[in-house]
Each structure stands twice: as structure tokens, then as C-alpha cells.
Amino acid sequence: MFSKAKIFILSFMFLGSFAYGTLGYGWYDTGHMLIAQIAKECCSDDVVKRVEQQLGYFHDDFPESSTFVTSACFADDIVPLGRSWHFITLPYDPDDILSQEDVSRLMEVFKSSNVVTGIDSAREALTDPNASEWNKSIMLRFLIHCVGDVHQPLHCCTRYSEQFPYGDKGGNHFKIKRSWAENLHALWDSACSAAQKELYHRPLNEEDAEQIENIAQQIMTTYPLDGFSSYDDTDPAIWSEEAYRIATEVAHQDIAYDGEPSAEYLRRGEEASLRQIALAGYRLAKMLEKIYSEEK
């Protein structure tokens, strides 16, 4: 039998499935769990304990997403609930097919509900002394996930061209030839092959949890905190603009529609992706430290 909480969530999923089309997932589970693991490594013991405590409120309802690390996948598990919080489709128009009026209209459409406003809403709920533990437990899961999504370049960019006059939907309509990725968005969800889909199954067993810890440590060693001059930027809107630049300068360069990405493209894409995963983890830790320090 489903609990009332799970029935409530599932009802939104069922109703929402008629309202929205398909959605590309940010990073896949592996990337999201690596971001959360990096954040966990960087948080104080007190904050880790508080995060685990708050996530545990729904452990019986969602055992597959109730630890610091696995909670990062919750928002994708319940798509389309909160769907608009997964992305901000800033327009990329290298061929100048959009008028300034078109650009302004597109920006207006996504202004009220996107990954940036989702992070802000979650942060506000978590620092609200009057918010219920029920609400905080859900919003914490969204926060951990959305901080990951805003660092995925193709969650922050949609390309417009003669081929895609209505946009390529964050690369979802940009087909490529790759065994594990049928489009550009999926390729970048896999961190350009570094974090492919369904490598680990939740709840994590001891071996998988240890492997995620080890990979996170490797990423942190390769991309240490002191290598990021922009780490101190706390505005998610700035984070989305950084990711947009990576999309336009790396993801959308030197790759043909329905073509196979070159080894050099994959190398540059993997490097950019892993840097973003590291930075997302560091920034998430900083945000959680601030949120829970304000509780005291």
C-alpha cells in the first residue's frame, strides 16, 4: 500500500504526464549522486547529520532517495512534478534568426518558473521557521537536484536555427550517433560518457556507495576547490549563465547533426562536465552550510 505522502506525489505525476512532453534528465543519476557526494564531503559533520535527518522524514515512502547522496535523484524520479524547475532555456541564436522581440518573449516565458527560481524557492522554504518538516524534506531534495541541473550546460541553453526555428529543446532534438546517447542532451547528461545512465541502482549497496565516494574523490583531486575563481558566486542566475557559455562555446561547437562526436569533442566535453560536477558539489555544500547555520 502507498502512504498518503506517496499517493499525493504520484497523483501530481499522473496528472502532469498529460500536460508536459518528454524531458531530458540533468546528468543522469550518476552525475547527480557524484555532485551530492562531493557536497557531503565538503559539509561539516553537523550539517551532514541535519541533512540526513531532514531527508529521513520520507525514508519509508521513498527509500531509493532518502540519503544525502541518493536524494539528488528524487526530482527526476517524480517528473513531471516540478518539471520547469529542471532547466532555464536561455536562447542561443548563432544564425540570427530571432528578432529582439522574439528573444524578449522567450525570456519572459521562462522567467517565472525555471531552475533558478526553483533553487530560490527551495532555499526560502528551508530557511522558513514556519515551514513544515514535510515541506522542507521535499524541498531539500529539490534543492540538491536543482543545483546539479543548473550546472548542466544543456539545461541552460536552447539553440535556434533554420533547422530548429522553435529551438532544439536543450539539445533533445539534436540527433547524434552514439550507442548510449541518441541526442546531444543525452550525451551531456552522461557527462560525455564519464557518467553514463544506470551505472548504479538505488538504494545503493555498500559496494556502489563506496565506488561513488571514490570517483567523487578523484574528481575533487582533479578539480580542487581552489581552482575555481567563481566559487564564491552565490547567485544561481550567474551559475546558469556560466553553464550557458559552456553550452555555446563547447557543447554546440564542432559537432554535426546526426553525426558521431569526435574523440576530441568527447574529451573536451568530459572535461567541461566533470569541472561542472565538481563546482556544483562545492557550491551545494556552501549553500547547505549557510542554510543550516541560519537554523541555529
In a domain, 194, yes or no: yes
In a domain, 245, yes or no: yes
pTM of the complete model: 0.91
Tracing cell 536543450 back to the chain, one arrives at 170
In a domain, 173, yes or no: yes
Highest mean pLDDT pick, 1-5, 177-181, 202-206: 202-206
At residue 265, does pLDDT exceed 90?
yes
At residue 65, does pLDDT exceed 80?
yes
The per-residue pLDDT for 296 is: 61
Q: What is the pLDDT of residues 86-96, one digit of tens each?
A: 999 899 999 99
Q: What's the whole-number mean pLDDT along residues 157-173?
A: 97
At residue 2, does pLDDT exceed 70?
no
| Residues forming a β-bridge with 259 | 176
Q: What's the whole-number mean pLDDT along residues 116-126?
A: 97
The per-residue pLDDT for 247 is: 99
Angstrom distance (rounded) from CA 64 to CA 160: 38
Assign 199 a pLDDT band (cuts: 50, 70, 90).
confident
At residue 74, does pLDDT exceed 70?
yes
Q: What domain count does the chain have?
A: 1
CA Rg value for the chain = 19
In a domain, 263, yes or no: yes
| CATH number for the domain harbouring residue 160 | 1.10.575.10
The domain in which residue 77 lies consists of: 23-293
In a domain, 10, yes or no: no
Helix 206-222 with 28-42: angle, nearest 10 deg: 70
Q: Which amino acid is it at 148?
A: G
In a domain, 137, yes or no: yes
In a domain, 2, yes or no: no
90-92 and 157-159 as β-strands: parallel, antiparallel, unpaired? parallel
In a domain, 8, yes or no: no
Q: What's the whole-number mean pLDDT along residues 250-264?
A: 97
The per-residue pLDDT for 295 is: 78
